[in-house]
Structure formats: structure tokens, C-alpha cells
């Protein structure tokens, strides 16, 4: 299965009473898919999965799965445990619940910093028993574990590992090396919204982008422009979307994005769950203005 284009890691909307607003989540899922997103990511970091109960996580996955099935889109689901055994159990449960999922998004082991060899061994063990293909989520500023180009190539060679969500804070040498000679069948998807344009220019397959909630069609247009070789259109649109992406991350994700979605009337509240706090008014207004300006 090919992973290409823009994937939206869904926020989890909350109602005024604090419950998950599943009706708003369903509407949002259909909106971004109708705007051209290749698929949805349920229970990614943007969805605040650590703050959800097990029942809430299951409900979120069910809504996303139904939306993807209705639109013929790809479903990716976050599945990470505290160690290899717990992650394997989470993958088994996920495969039983949504066997139609295109992949599971699995974070590089966090906090323990097992080294590159340990990280490769972790994914090799997971892939051997996983009912779903694996997308490696490489985000060292959250996990504490750096990976070299050589280690990423080792991961790409594992049967069942189909790609990487690459989020290292910017465009670095490792990304450039990997994109210069990307292993066959291994999708490089950026997770750094503000660096989508240069990553696409270097050959990235697409991105998993929280800010794509706010202008899904424009992000899709950008990806298509680079893939078509329309450099002038891609460069101009890329500059504008970079500004929106930076504004969307002016407070810890997904606070600004939720604030804008609420201001647009697309979710019932801007609420996040502790330890996150809602974004400030100025941050939300700045991002909302940039999103609105993209329609002109």
C-alpha cells in the first residue's frame, strides 16, 4: 500500500461538559477527507490520546474508521505502549478492532533511550507479530532518542515497516540523505508542518500535519504542485502555508488548532485536557486570520 499525500492527525473535540464530542469529530473527519486528505490519523499526538480513557480512544478510532471507509481513505492509528511487550499488545488489540487500518503509527521508544540498536530491535520484534504495517514515528525532541540515516535504513529494511513520520524539528542532514535515496516501498512523511514545502521539494511522499485541519485543501494543493513539478505555484503557496503552520504551533499542539476550529464553528469548544492549556486569544486570532487569508 502506498502512503502519499496529506494526512490529518485528528484533534479530539470536547463538549462543554468535557465529554468527547463524537458528532463533531465525525463531521471534522468528513470535512478534511472531502477537502482531499489522503487519510486520517486517529490517536496521534494531536488527538491527546494520553488524556483519553480506553473507551474514549476506542470511540475515536471507530469514528475515524467509519469516515475513512465511507470516503475510501486510509486510516492510520497511533499505537504505542511503555515497552516492546505493551506496544505489541496494543498492536494486537488494534488489529483485532480495525483490521482494515492501513498502518499503525508507532513512536520510537521514549524516555528509556535504548540506542539505535535497541530501537531497531524493538521495531523488528513488533513487526514480526503485528497484524498491521508499521509507520515509525521519529520525534527525538519528545522521545530523547536520535536516529542516524543508517539506523533509519535498517528500520526501512524490516518487513512490515512501511514508512516514517519524520519530525526532528526541521530539515536536517539525515532527512536530506534519506530523501536523496529513499528505500523502495518506504514512505517518508514529514511531521514538521512548517517544513512541508522543502521536504516535498526534496522528494517526501507527503506529511502528517496538525495545521492541515485549518486549510486542508491548500495543503493538498501544495503537495500536488510539487509532485507535478509546478515550482512557481508550489513555492508561493508554500510560503503562505509555512506562516500558518508556524502560527498553529505558537502554543503547545493542539491548542491553537483547536482554538481556530472552535472560532470557525467546526468544534463545540476549544478545550484541551490537562496538562495542556487552551491557547491565548492573540495566538488563536493570528492563526485564524492566516487561515482565512488563504481563501483570498
Can you tell me the distance from the alpha carbon of 141 to that of 179, in angstroms, rounded to the nearest whole number?
A: 21
- 3-class secondary-structure state, position 206: strand
Q: CB-side exposure of 20: number of CA atoms within 13 Å?
A: 23
Q: Map grid coordinates 504551533 to a residue.
A: 249
Helix (H) or strand (E) holding 242: helix 231-248
Active site residue 141: no
Can you tell me the distance from the alpha carbon of 201 to that of 179, in angstroms, rounded to the nearest whole number?
A: 10
SS3 content of the chain, % helix, strand, coil (to 5): 50, 15, 35
The catalytic residue among 7, 165, 166, 258 is 165
DSSP 268-290: S-----TT--PPPHHHHHHHHHH
**How distant, in Å, are the alpha carbons of 92, 153, 177 from that of 183?**
27, 7, 11
- Phi, psi for residue 21 in degrees, rounded to 5: -90, 85
The catalytic residue among 4, 7, 27, 137 is 137
Active site residue 137: yes
Can you tell me the distance from the alpha carbon of 206 to that of 3, in angstroms, rounded to the nearest whole number?
A: 8
**177 Cα distance to chain centroid:** 22
Cell readout for 137 is 514515528
Query: Active-site residues: which are they?
Result: 137, 165
Amino acid at each position: 500500500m502506498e502512503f502519499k499525500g496529506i494526512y490529518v492527525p485528528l484533534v479530539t473535540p470536547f463538549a462543554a461538559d468535557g465529554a468527547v464530542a463524537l458528532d463533531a469529530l465525525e463531521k471534522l473527519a468528513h470535512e478534511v477527507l472531502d477537502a482531499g486528505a489522503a487519510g486520517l490519523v486517529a490517536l496521534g499526538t494531536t488527538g491527546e490520546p494520553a488524556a483519553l480513557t480506553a473507551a474514549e480512544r476506542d470511540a475515536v478510532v471507530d469514528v475515524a474508521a467509519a469516515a475513512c471507509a465511507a470516503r475510501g481513505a486510509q486510516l492510520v492509528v497511533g499505537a504505542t505502549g511503555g515497552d516492546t511487550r505493551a506496544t505489541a499488545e496494543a498492536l494486537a488489540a488494534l488489529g483485532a478492532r480495525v483490521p482494515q487500518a492501513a498502518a499503525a503509527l508507532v513512536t520510537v521508544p521514549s524516555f528509556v533511550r535504548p540506542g539505535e540498536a535497541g530501537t531497531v530491535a524493538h521495531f523488528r520484534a513488533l513487526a514480526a507479530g503485528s497484524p498491521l504495517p508499521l509507520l515509525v514515528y521519529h520525534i527525538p525532541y519528545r522521545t530523547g532518542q536520535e536516529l542516524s540515516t543508517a539506523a533509519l535504513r535498517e528500520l526501512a529494511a524490516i518487513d512490515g515497516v512501511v514508512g516514517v513520520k519524520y519530525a526532528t524539528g526541521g530539515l536536517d542532514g539525515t532527512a536530506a540523505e534519506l530523501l536523496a535515496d529513499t528505500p523502495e516501498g518506504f514512505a517518508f512523511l514529514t511531521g514538521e508542518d512548517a517544513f512541508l514545502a522543502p521536504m516535498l521539494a526534496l522528494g517526501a511522499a507527503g506529511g502528517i500535519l496538525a495545521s492541515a485541519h485549518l486549510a486542508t485543501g491548500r495543503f493538498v494543493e501544495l503537495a500536488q504542485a510539487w509532485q507535478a513539478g509546478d515550482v512557481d505555484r508550489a513555492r508561493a503557496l508554500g510560503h503562505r502555508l509555512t506562516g500558518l503552520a508556524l502560527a498553529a504551533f505558537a502554543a503547545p499542539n493542539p491548542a491553537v488548532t483547536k482554538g481556530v476550529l472552535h472560532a470557525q464553528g467546526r468544534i463545540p469548544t476549544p478545550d484541551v485536557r490537562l496538562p495542556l492549556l487552551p491557547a491565548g486569544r492573540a495566538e488563536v486570532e493570528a492563526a485564524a486570520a492566516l487561515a482565512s487569508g488563504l481563501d483570498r
